Structure 1
Amino acid sequence: MAEVTEAAVREAADALVAAFGAHDTAAYFARFAPDADFVFHTTPERLPDRASYERLWARWEAEDGFHVHGCTSSDARIRLSGSTAVFVHDVSTDLELGGSRETVRERETIVFELRDGVWLAVHEHLSPRAE
């Protein structure tokens, strides 16, 4: 059973970022609760659940050639509040879109909740990072 510690949340966050960076969609989406919601600066609408995000990801792959080639997290902060934790970090993602590779720098907030002994992400908010 996971503990309510910064180290346990950091482990969950690191696993999520590693799965994303490896473009391991099964492992990545397994880190989110089914009822997780998502706010991305690159999409006009809020995504109300994990299934909506999975469909969007599949569309990006099919239509845009979307592929993640790597992801690094830096300047992370964790705030615990009972069985909930807020993880905020800077993220740099090496990705491919339409045959072109680029590095995107963003800020991200992920809210984790301890559910049945597992830290799952229940909310993600991504915004551009000023250079």
Structure 2
Amino acid sequence: MDQDQTAVAGAADRLVAAFGRHDTDAYFAAFAPDATFIFHNHPEVLANRAAYRALWQDWESSLGFRVLDCKSSARDIKVYGDTAIFTHRVETRAMFGGEAVTSHERETIVFRRDGGQWLAVHEHLSALPGA
């Protein structure tokens, strides 16, 4: 793994760890303000970090949403200059309506080098086939 791939892996590790402990401030800080989001379980593209954070807060208040744990596997990183594509499988345990639910998904996160750090600028989450 070269230096850029190592740096992207570190950024991805911090993002996944913050998500897994439901640390919303650290999690959303891993995304650029203009980041976009596509989720298989949400009908609309979220045009920026603020839109996703508002949806997250709605899930918390209306569904009792809380992330309990997140595991990342089958990771791959491709770096193209100041852009990197990180793909992985995620297993997430979360609370919804007082019930713990486990989901198995695959995810692509696009990172951009920004002032010496790697920030996520796009996330695409899809259901893992057969899960």
TM-score tier (shorter): over 0.9
- Verify the 8 A CA contact 1:4 1:83 in the aligned structure 2: no
- Verify the 8 A CA contact 1:68 1:93 in the aligned structure 2: yes
Q: TM-score normalized by structure 1?
A: 0.96
Q: What pairs up with 1:1-131 in 2 under 5 angstroms?
A: 5-130=4-129, 131=131
* CA distance in 2: counterparts of 1:53 and 1:65, whole angstroms: 16
Letter of the 2:108 counterpart: T
Letter of the 1:105 counterpart: H
Identity %: 54
- What is the deviation of 1:5? 1.3
Tell me the C-alpha RMSD between the 2 structures.
Answer: 1.0
- What is the deviation of 1:18? 0.0
Compare relative contact order (CA 8 Å, sep 6+) and give the higher one, 1 or 2. 1
Letter of the 2:14 counterpart: A
* CA distance in 2: counterparts of 1:4 and 1:45, whole angstroms: 36
Name structure 2 gaps, 5 residues minimum: none
